[in-house]
Structure 1
């Protein structure tokens, strides 16, 4: 298959819908489904048939971002982006006739959600460019918007070295939390001797409040598969696995559909795009263990073993799945690959900051008006994300802290909200980017309680393989529990700080090494709340 052939196929699919002038798009991602979007979709289809709107198409699409306002319905010209549409919020099946009647006339103002608000206008969508626009189950829809063109171009017009060069030039860093340079990781595996190599997509999204990977898989699964296939070509791999949480049934279902259709169309399997390149992809379901997000534990789980980490080196790039070189990236990292190949590494590198290129997808959760999914350039300030895009704190309350990086991250106070969000800046504050969860807290939150909550999570999720994590997190939780009940002493507080240092320095894997971060950051910025709970100076 040549690139021209795929372009012709894409044009053919677009021409098949040439009679469609307007689209009614209904979000059918998990967040909107939980609010009742599937009955809304059926009601709109029924109303469309009843009113005989032959030039209008009703379809389900992926996440539109503003999850707190679901079910969301967008009405737009066929090729219009989300911010160019008429968007409706909190839609019910009873609203279907009014919405269909408004398709070519006056919008339904009582349901309208402005798309010129900062939540939409301040975003720059690369990973999410198709989310909310295409049917996640439609391969034709993905091809029609340019899907798999980057893969075909890589296979027919570029060498593996060319692909590696573009990814390295882009400055893309791993979006799973570690921030390791993607091009360097890929190049390391490409240099390994020829033989069996694997590509693994880490979709084991276990951070409380994080739903970025889930939304991407539910909204644009082919985008992730295309990125994996390009990566496999670049490093010389022939087999891939998507390790996804079993608690994400909708994402799993859509991923299964995408793999089946992509293989049938020749974008996966033997002789991909009529070339000599072969790449098979399988799904592996995680059993809910947070530690399996750590790459060595994840590989053990794929191999059918208990999901426990092992010491490194050797690193997966040298000895991964079944002792073979293995590339592991997360969902968002792979979703960035196709546009990098399409537009070029220099284009991607021009976005963001010096040390953190491109955009980042964040899940806004907690005490914030606009709960949902956003994508902004690296370097956007926390204040812009929370107060402008997120709409600020509801109910007239004051902001207190935001936690970045999940249980492995830290809590940032109001005094540091103007810091740019990038890997290096967050590190100076004692936290990390993580996979992209942002949990916002208002003045009613007790930061000692917050630290105890995350320590309880880390304690429960410890695999128990190493003593510092297994015993240390238990002891730290016990001390935090004593403090929250007002029975702690200064000796307890000193012991808590000592334990933080020991657990961080001696634990086997990232779970234990970063478990003290919420405690250390709250002690750093909210020590007065710990002091206020002390029983005395004993």
Structure 2
């Protein structure tokens, strides 16, 4: 593809998709029909590059792929150089720059699905549909781990539709017709009730999951009748400084894996003299084995809207971005509905609840890039750049989104703010909740809520094992394998055991799992998801995968030495956490499980 304007024209359908998002072009300089005025005046348009990702989604969602003409039209509308737009469009796995069918099947081959027979499903799909290519693809984790193995069919159209297959059956997938008609507003064809993902649903004592499965996620009135917006009213009583003080005293730390104190982050952002301030909710939950944020967004979407409003009030943000992964169609629909309803009822927008707070949320969909879960990569993605991490400092609280002070929290972190304000910091700290995503060889996979200090054994017994537990993967692909089930599930306890809580992944492995194949899948995942920006990660993830391929057929001490050298280099020299943690699980499997002995 020539990376300059070549005069390629979009189809009428592609043009309509872009115009539905941006409105009709005002001048020929923006892609409209040329007039006499346009021949005399060269209009200069301000770049709207931050709308590049939504514009690419608009075309891909309606047509199924992005043609050269569609990309040129988007570039003219947004004043973005074609070479740079092409670099963005090809960065994301859900977009295609080549013709393909409107219906594309994504078959998960990641850790939880592989542990539950995902490889057999993949082989049968390949037999039925042929080699992967245009009609189906192997996919990284779809966030449906409690129903593994899983697959997701996305079909372009007006509107686009989706169908979930979980647990996936290859024959059913291959023979299933496309979804017909409009997908219901708050549901996705084939998806199960969200309460099925929460084995504790309806039980007393839950804080973060108390409404999931018991409250209608589409009803604002039902949410308010079950304690909704109590925390926001309490926030208005405390004032911004009081809210931050409560969050600081509660000891809340980030639940995405880094465990940075949330109150310190909020306080640092609120103190910045540069304005405007921005709030970003990181809902790009892509760590293999993680699905807790999906369950909250599907089962209790108004809680996230309320929590973001409180965070914005405390930190002085007038605009918030909710960045959600593109593989979550039902969560996206429910949040869109919740945001629109809250706005229509005066709970978002100008003068919220008559308290003088003006704040609104814009939902942005990712397009299949694990790296966009890194906080600065999200900024680049929202701004219309490739989703590559930025070097720090400066830190986001100083210069984040659009170069302004920005507070970034993930979904679980934000919804923890609600019980902090409802119960008080001290009461919350005395029984601080944590969500865990349990999958693999257990009888009752799903999201579990426990207080910090419970042991891994208690959690596994709560889920019920199906056989002999060989090991547990804590923290996902970026985590570590452990064999001691008496590890306390705290940040300190897992750190002392040479592991990490990470994003809350608890993948139980039994003797039926091929550990060599599982490690190879982890290496393939990091190779595929590396953004390629830094050499240690770009080269190291490839070398790690190559060495594991060789070790799968024959054990060679030279390859084991090479693995350690490559892993340590990635850990020490990579720009972001992807490269820094790509070796963790492999190292723990070699040292603790003796996989290659």
TM value normalised by structure 1: 0.74
Does 2:393 align with 1:320?
Answer: no
Q: Are residues 1:150 and 2:223 paired?
A: no
Q: What residue is the counterpart of 1:475 in the other structure? A: 543
Matching of residue 454 in structure 1 with residue 454 in structure 2: no
Return the alpha-carbon distance in structure 1 between the equivalents of residues 569 and 235 of structure 2. 48
After TM superposition, give the deviation of residue 449 of structure 1 in Å: 2.8
What SS does the corresponding residue of 2:247 show, helix, strand or coil? Answer: helix
1:489 is aligned to 556
Q: CA deviation at 1:62?
A: 6.3
CA separation in 2, counterparts of 1:126 and 1:35?
Answer: 30
Distance between the aligned counterparts of 2:507 and 2:500, measured in 1? 13
C-alpha contact 1:360 1:376 (8 A) present in aligned 2: yes
**Structure 2 CA distance for partners of 1:359 and 1:83, relative to 1, 3 Å:** closer
3-state DSSP class of the match of 2:498?
A: coil
In the alignment, the residues of structure 1 paired with residue 499 and residue 522 of structure 2 have an alpha-carbon distance, to the nearest angstrom, of 14
What RMSD over aligned residues (CA atoms) do the two structures have, in Å?
Answer: 2.2
> Residue in 2 aligned with 1:133?
214
1:371 aligned partner: 445
**Alignment partner, residue 534 of structure 1:** none
Partner of 1:423: 491
Task: Give the conservation status (yes or no) of the 8 Å contact 1:175–1:434.
Answer: yes
1-structure distance, mates of 2:222, 2:238 = 26
1:404-419 to structure 2, matched below 5 A, reads: 404-413=474-483, 416-419=484-487
Any residues of structure 2 matched to 1:22-421 within 5 Å, and which?
A: 63-66=194-197, 82-83=202-203, 124-155=205-236, 157-193=237-273, 195-351=275-431, 358-386=432-460, 388-392=461-465, 394=466, 397-413=467-483, 416-421=484-489
Equivalents in 2 of 1:345, 1:378: separation in Å? 15
Q: Matches of 1:521 and 1:192 in 2, distance apart? A: 42
Structure 1 distance, partners of 2:479, 2:382, is 27
The one-character-per-residue Cα deviations of 1:381-429 (angstroms, maximum 9, x if unpaired) are: 111111x20111x1xx31111111111101111xx11010111111223
Residues 159, 194 of structure 1: alpha-carbon distance in 2 compared, 3 angstrom cutoff: farther
Look up the match of 1:510.
577
SS of equivalent residue, structure 1 residue 132 = coil
Compute the displacement of 1:144 (Å).
Answer: 0.7
1:31-75 CA-to-partner distances (Å, cap 9, x unmatched) read: 799589xxxxxxxxxxxxxxxxxxxxxxx99633556x9xx9xxx
Distance across 2 between alignment mates of 1:500 and 1:349 = 37
| SS of structure 1 residue aligned to 2:473 | strand
> What SS does structure 2 have at the residue aligned with 1:402?
strand
Distance 2:320 2:540 in 1: 36
Give the Cα–Cα distance (whole angstroms) in 2 for the partners of residues 363 and 451 of structure 1. Answer: 20
Q: Aligned partners of 2:478, 2:355: CA distance in 1, in Å?
A: 43
CA distance in 2, matches of 1:429, 1:450: 22
How many Å separate the matches in 2 of 1:300 and 1:468? 21
Q: Contact 1:297 / 1:310 at 8 angstroms: preserved in 2?
A: yes
Matches of 1:503 and 1:373, distance apart in 2? 32
SS for the counterpart of 1:375 is strand
Deviation at 1:491, TM superposition (A): 1.1
Whether contact under 8 Å (1:404, 1:432) holds in the other structure is: yes
Maintained 8 Å contact 2:223/2:302: yes
Question: Following the alignment from structure 2 to structure 1, what is the Cα–Cα distance between the partners of residues 239 and 478?
Answer: 38
1:415-472: CA deviation from partner (whole Å, max 9, x where unpaired): x110101111112233211111211100223433322211110111000001110110
Partner of 2:356, secondary structure, is: coil
Secondary structure in 2 aligned to 1:456? helix
8 Å contact kept, 2:274–2:404? no
C-alpha contact 2:248 2:264 (8 A) present in aligned 1 = yes
Contact between 2:202 and 2:210, CA under 8 Å: does it hold in 1?
no
Contact 2:487/2:493 (8 A) holds in 1: yes
Distance 1:250 1:154, change over 3 A: same
The alpha carbon displacement at 1:524 in A equals 2.0
Residue matched to 1:434: 502
User: Partners of 2:439 and 2:192 in 1: how far apart?
Assistant: 22
CA distance in 1, matches of 2:192, 2:443: 24
**Is the deviation greater in 215-224 or in 142-151?**
142-151
TM-score (norm 2): 0.67
In structure 2, stretches of 5+ residues that fail to align are 1-142, 148-162, 167-190
Residue matched to 1:354: none
Shift of 1:276: 1.2
Report the number of matched residues. 416
Residues 1:335 and 1:312: Cα distance change in structure 2 (over 3 Å) = same
C-alpha contact 2:197 2:295 (8 A) present in aligned 1: no
Which residue of structure 2 aligns with residue 499 of structure 1? 566
Partner Cα distance (2:535, 2:203) in 1: 52
Task: Please give the secondary structure, in 2, of the residue aligned with 1:82.
Answer: coil
* TM-superposition CA deviations, 1:66-125 (whole Å, max 9, x none): 56x9xx9xxxxxxxx8248xxxxxxxxxxxxxxxxxxxxxxxxxxxxxxxxxxxxxxx52
